[in-house]
Amino acid sequence: MPILDEPMLVDLAGEAAIERGVGYFRDGLVTLSERSNTGFVADARGTARYRLWYREDEGEPQWNCSCPAAADGSFCKHLVAASLIWLDGDGSTPADAPKDDLLSLLRRQPAAQLANWLHEAAMDDPGLARSLRLRLASDPAELKQALAAMLRVRGFLDYRRSLDFGERLHEPLTMLDGLLGRNPQQCFHLAAYAVERLLRIYRNADDSAGTIGEGIFAFATLHARAAEAARPDGLKLARALHGLKRHDDWGLFPLDAYWPVLGERGQADYARRVEREYKSLAQPAERGVTASARDGSEFSVVSRYEELSRVRGDFDALLAVLSRDLSSGYAFERIVAACRDFGHDALALQWAERGLKAHPDRSGMRVLAAEEFQRAGLTDEARRLLWDDFVGHPDGMSWSRLKDSAGENWPALRGEALDVVAGRERRLEDGRHDASLRLTLLMLDEDFDAARQLAAAQAASPDVLVSLARRIRRTHPVDAAGMLRCAADLKLPDANANTYAKLVPLMRDAVSLAPGETTDTWISGIRDRYRARRKLMRLMDEAGLA
């Protein structure tokens, strides 16, 4: 039985991605190329074509999509659409999708009649009119004018308007992408024009769903491709690129993508511009202010100089800019990473030790120093640092790092680490302790039997109980049902109409895992206690929880 269901899909993706994914599902923009009982491989069409997959491995969902929105591991709209197809059964489009024979009917009509119909529709639909003018533009001036009309907005774009505007970007992007092969020079200039307009629009929009950001990223990527194909004058490109990067707070125009195209003269000109900016900055000691106070005015200048140093392979310049302000532990961490990137292992260890001395309580600094100690063969010192890090910040990441460093000593160290966590657990009114973190760590160690016994003796958060129940449902269905009942009982008092859709499937799973008198009594109690909540009662009825 697949772990993924629609309530879990909402948890993974969030409402914005669900809303957009449902649209992709209904429009047939995603198709499955492979499917099995544990996952799928799919292709999606949006502002570009994306490859995606989902699989369930020993009770753990895993996924990936090549789109920008999923670069941080998010469950994007494409994954939502593909998941809905997978859950829906066979086929690559919704089962109830209507058969569209409109295209074949239109192809039988006279051209003049079609032109009249299309003109009438465009007069009633400004968006369609803009789209047609963009497609019909025949010279650069007309094309730029049509593109400007497509990218014109009035006032602030709220969430809904941002969604609509972001989806509208697909057409001009497709048009420019097609232009790249025919006229790369024209594509280059129009892509730059589009990005400049979009960056201004972005600052006055609620792009919570990420549609405009995805569009800007796609246009910026096209701009770099067009620059490589068009090979514009290096000096002009250097000037234009510097102007774009001064307004780019999102890293849309990576210098390494343009560096070869700039040529020697363009590279020298771009470097002069960035160096001039950087030299005009006052040094931290002269300013007498902290890094956080300078970020607003200086961050972009420093970032451009740092990027230039990396592209030119100038380690000395890079080290100088990274060490200009050592008021934060983060600065030391970045220096250590740069030393590693350039192969200066001994220097990385020195900076890690300096950073640890300056910021001994910073978790990231302890971890970096431990890695450098490990690399230098100082395993005991590394393990002590990671132990201190776990004691200071006990969580899944520090637990995993400690385990990796322990080797054959892990069984003993594991017991000590669990004792540390147990000693800090909050005592509840009924005498039990909140063992949520201990349970999470045991699950990370795949010790589900110990986790099951601990959950029976102590308390835990609803989400942790649900996670453990999903992992033991095949081996211990009755225990899993008890955890789901407990999780639902904990969530129900504060639940509202928006969360019932997630709770009812938990109840249904509990019933299916352990049917019988105990479960029936539990369901009856819920219906009696919450009978005034009409939506909850209706959803329970629909799920067969009578």
DSSP class of residue 99? P
Q: In what order do the strands lie in the sheet with 39-45?
A: 30-36, 39-45, 49-57, 60-65
Q: What pLDDT does 93 receive?
A: 43
- From residue 139, alpha-carbon distances to 76, 196, 232 in Å are 38, 21, 20
Q: What tokens were used for 139?
A: 């010279």
Q: What is the DSSP string of 285-309?
A: HHHT--HHHHHHHHHHHHHHHHHHH
pTM above 0.85, yes or no: no
Closest CA to 318 of 331, 336, 306, 334: 306
| Percent of residues, the chain, with pLDDT higher than 90 | 54
C-alpha to C-alpha distances, 249 to 89, 300, 307, nearest whole angstrom: 43, 7, 13
State how far the Cα of 63 lies from the Cα of 539, in Å rounded to an integer: 30
Higher-confidence residue of 182 and 518: namely 518
CA separation for the pair 34, 77 (Å, rounded):
19
Residue 460 CA to residue 321 CA, distance in Å, equals 47
pLDDT of 27-68, one tens digit each? 788 989 888 888 899 988 765 678 899 988 766 788 988 877
* pLDDT tens column, 422-445: 999 999 999 999 999 999 999 999
Length of the chain: 546
Find the mean pLDDT for residues 447-456. 96
How far is residue 38's CA from residue 59's CA, in Å, rounded to a whole number?
Answer: 10
Give the pLDDT confidence of 278-313 residue by residue, as tens digits.
999 877 654 444 444 445 568 889 999 999 999 999
Mapped onto helix, strand or coil, the DSSP state of residue 259 is helix
CA distances from 246 to 64, 138, 213, 305 (A): 32, 33, 17, 12
Which of the four pLDDT bands, split at 50, 70 and 90, describes residue 97? very low
Is residue 454 within a helix (H) or strand (E), and if so which, with residue range?
A: helix 448-457
Question: Across residues 448-477, what is the average pLDDT?
Answer: 95
Residue with the bigger pLDDT between 415 and 10: it is 415
Residue 408 has pLDDT above 60, yes or no: yes
- pLDDT of 33: 85
Give tens-digit pLDDT for 175-219. Answer: 888 888 888 999 999 999 999 899 889 989 998 877 888 888 889
How much is the mean pLDDT over the chain? 87
Question: What's the confidence (pLDDT) of residue 138?
Answer: 65
Angle at 526 between CA 521 and CA 532, to 5 degrees: 140
Q: Where does the pLDDT of residue 3 fall: very low under 50, low under 70, confident under 90, or very high at 90 and above? A: low
Whether the predicted pLDDT of 90 surpasses 60: no
Asked if the model's pLDDT at residue 532 lies above 60, the reply is yes
* pLDDT tens track for 208-264: 877 888 888 889 889 999 999 999 999 999 999 999 898 887 788 899 999 999 999
Residue 48 is predicted with a pLDDT of 62
